[in-house]
Structure 1
Amino acid sequence: MIFFLRTARPPLPVFLLWLSAAFCCVLLTPQAFSIETDPQLEQQLDEYLNSLGQDPEASSLQLKAMEQLIQPGTAPTSVTRFHAMRVFNFLYGDDEAKLTDALEQLITFARQHPSPDVMGEALATKVEVLVTQGKMNEAYQTIVELESYLDAVKQPRIRYYANNLLGRIYIRDNQFEQASKHLHAAMEAVLETDDGRTDIRRTFLQSQLAQLYADMQNLEQALELINLAIEGMPDSIKDHLAEYYLTKGYIEGELGQHEASIQTHYRALKQAQQFGYQGIALLSLNNIGASHILLHHYDQAIEPLQQANELALQLEDEYTQQLIRLNLGYIQVMQGNYDHGLQQMRSSIEYYREHGRRSDLERFLTEFAKALNHAGYHVEEAAILREQRELNKELFQADRERILAEMQQRYQAREQAHHIQRLEQANALQERTIENKQLQNRLILLAAFATALAGILMWQLYRKVRHVNRRLKEANKQLEFQSLRDPLTGLFNRRSFQQRMAKRWQHKEHRHHGEERDALILLDIDFFKQINDQHGHAAGDEILIEVAKRLTQSLRQHDQAIRWGGEEFLLYLHRIRPKDLTTLVERTLYLLAEKPFTVNGQPIVVTATAGFITLPFDDIPEEQLNWEKALQLADLALYAGKSKGRNQACGVTGLHVPLTDIMASFDVEKNQPLTLQQLKCTEVAGPSVNRA
């Protein structure tokens, strides 16, 4: 459903952004560690951190006064911590020039005193600066070096800070396994401390892990962790309970525990109103209404949604206000006030078409189509579904390309970092060789031995370079393979199908004659959004995987199954007689619907709607009507099946008009849409099913 909003933290002053995320990571008692520190400097740094939220200008002066405490013999770990504080002072004070100088000074000092603790804190600081500046490739290069020191760091303060930072970065990058590893390492570091802030750090980490597990759809463990965080929250941070309850309510909603979610969001609302967190109050009210909608308690949903609407007006949050109006319109439709409710939903949809994120619009169109279906507006429903499907295809393709590009960038960043390390090793080897040559005039025998040793090292370096190159080629092959496959189902993707059709054209396979033709079958799983809403996204993924298996089992050796996008699949059949095509389509509908899918021990009936067509189509040469245009005809047939009730297939077998009359319809700019009246179609019914 569209109704739940993601949890969000209350806004903080700009200068305190780092404090809210990293203060728990830095403010530990340095005197408790075995690493040598400077007690006086450490005490002043603690006082500086405690005063940050009170007077930023006075805190900056206090930090500048600390420079007098730094002498040539001051402990490097304390000096490093001081330099890190200066970096963050300039970072969140928006002083770019001083930030660059301070960061360079920090890294230079660290490399002059390269203990794991010094390097760990300096490199972690650099990573946080680069991430804040949006320089993710440089950040990942630095992370490679940081992780090489991290296991040897002794101070829990630094291990906590670095691991918590890396955990948050990997969550942001959807690398959940890496994020989990670092957040648990941060928790181990917390358990090594026993001071006034230990409980605060533990509570903060439990909340972070709960968010991580929720993102990974490990909802039961996420709920357990957020409950532990709430139960163990120290009194000193009770004013943050609203945020924790908001997270808990969201997780309960994802688990389908809507009654419990409503109660939890009321707790979040009470805390938010008490401490003035209006953003959390807005989210809580909307989520309370959303839970009632999911429970079909429409009358009970109206009041919290109206309160949310008033608060959104006060906050001038038009984006959330339009979502609330969309929910209220949906309720009116479900209660029988079709015209007024649909008009209100249309107004919000138009707003999101102009101002909204495309991913949000795609979800909102799905719910709008459901409202139209309930009201019996099937023609408009078909048009909205078509718009949603086209937008879904665009988003799926864009997301896939983005993921591949990011994978390649991350891989290149890590390889570049490793390459720099190899160059440094090579430079060290070259310097050693020069030193040996300087001794050659005095010790010829020693020089010969050094030359032989250098040759052995060069040979080992050469072998290592060959090994790295070989691994790089293997990685590139694996990346190429992944770019042709859907990561969830293992089926071919759009790119692989486009390559196959290009080879088919190049090898003139489209020019075969006789009774046999190639064919395209475009299938869309019916009511897939409801499956996700009722059973969860993990169940939806299992359904997609099982659908892919069943489709693959029905194909012949030279046929191909493609995940076309979201819950849409494409079957390419190589040389089949048209009279056999109808039989195969019917068998495919039965293959999906006759046997329920089992997810978590619960049977789920799954049906599909399809459109199909032959290649070449109606004896029209493919030079005039290629596979892409034929697929558009099949797509129109699919939507015809959707508007007629789903669980069926429509096949395009010919034209009622000359080909020249419909050619303009394939040009989007001419705005002459195809109509079913121009096409000859045949219908194939799916099996009778009981969705209850």
Structure 2
Amino acid sequence: MSWLRSVWYYCLILFSYEIYGDEDIVVQKQTISTAFEQLKYRMESEHELSVLPQLRVIRNQAKHYAQRTIEIQTILIEASIRQHFGDYKHSLSMHYQALELAEQVGKPRIMVETLLAIIDLELDLERYDHAQRYVNQATQIAQALNQDDELLVHVKLWRAKIYLEKGSFRQALYELELGQKLAKNNSPLSARLLLIEAQVALRLGNYLVSRTLLNEFSIKYMSSADDKSQLDYQLALAESALQAGEFSEAIELAMKGLEQTFHTRYLEEQASLQRLLASAYAQLSDYQQAHLYLKRYSLTERALDQQKRNNKVLQLEAQYALAHQQQQVSLLEKDNAIQAQQIVQHEQTLENTKLTQQRWLLIGLLCFAAVLFVYWRWQNRRYTSKLEMQVAERTAELKERNKRLQTLSFTDSLTGLSNRHYFFSTIDSQINALPEKHDMIFCIVDIDHFKKINDTYGHAAGDLVLQSFADILKQCTRNSDLLVRWGGEEFLLVMPDMSRRDAQEAVERIRQQVERFPFIVNGQTVQCTCSIGFAPYPLTPDLQEQVSWEQVLELADSGLYLAKEVHRNTWIGLDSVRQPSAFDVEYTLKHYKEQVRQGNIVVSSSYVGAEIPA
């Protein structure tokens, strides 16, 4: 019934404006404010072009009674509607009009709201530098309003969005953390912050963190979330399933999300879901479905690119060419008049040639009938040959796309190493191929004090260190070894068919090479060290069935954390178990340090003076 109330207030404004324009200014202003609030409430759930006439009436009334805040807000709402439907040209013009009025009014809150609306548009136009400039301006104004935490949370949220789009994920997390502290019990803001934090976690490969955040969103805010937030939640949930290697679940979630995009203008989300489906089907070796969704993704991306080319800021240049176009129209009208005279003159000539054309037409039809059969035979052979060629080309193209999909799915974009997806897809086959009575060493390597490098030199410098570190690992390992970027500054090294003594030499070689290597960061030489933990699989021949490779990997991780606690720049590896028959792997994982101290498990270390702390 809210739309009925909006129409009633809309009619009341018109009636009051015509009859009681000068009688009761206070009542008139109250009526305008009430009508605007009703209309704004209606716009929170959907964008409708049908409300534009009501918006313009309210804007005119607000302007008449000097209600500048309502006037600015109506301009922003109409600009948002136009932005939603792709009319970026008029939307940008109206945003700047609202900004000019807000500067004249001088109210900080309406100024910040206007800047945030412009930032939303600039992100759609992919003009991130402009968005960064406006959000810095909004931050300065919002910080001056010490008591308005909600407004500052909005600013933090948009700063996080900008950093997310620019790939500065750590900075985005920092802004989101500040926003959550300020949001307190504001459910809508907390919900939006949670969704963005989940998206950042996915970009960093932390799908477990993302799932935790999405679960919290589902429990607390899903029932009151709008369509866009529900779609973003569905997309993030599907992406986390894909990263976790749960490809069937990822397909189911993506299909559900894709249904929500039908008959909407959410093309970017639709493209992301199609790309996700292509990746998931490729992982399941269903290359036909993968190719189908890759093709749909390509079509959607093409439509988005076309929309961006047609609707971005370059359209504003049309207003400067308007006068020139009008001159061209005038010249064309004169040319059309001259051409009309020429047409009249030629009509007689055409009439005279009409009979001749009919005669030649009859002759042509007879010739065509004679040639038609021969041409049909030739065309049929040509078409068959072309079809065979197209089939061969499409087959080769499909193979290439499948190969590209697999590469994208299995490779870490920063270091060029394999990622978790590749590890989980190959580890079982590698273990099955391991000769009997031969060991496979699981080794986890972590860069010491990497956060300090990021904080001191910036995340770009941290990325350079990660790349150089990956190169060192490549140089220190064999071609048969599996090298994986495990997450953040952690790397996983799987060395098949290697003895435990050889493993000690290998990790010591890595430790020394990292310690000696001069990492160049911003023109400065930075010394880095690493800590390493490793464990063999199987621990003993008797425990091969009782202790899985996953548990061995956790034992290597426990060794890594013990190495960091003892000294850093060292390695600790599990050599053997004192009493295999009494060995409890779950207890050992929980009390690794205690088991080492008691001698129940035997470890080796590069740090001779290492003492296990209490």
TM-score when normalising by structure 2: 0.49
Q: Point out which structure has higher relative CO (alpha carbons under 8 A, 6+ apart).
A: 1
TM-score when normalising by structure 1: 0.44
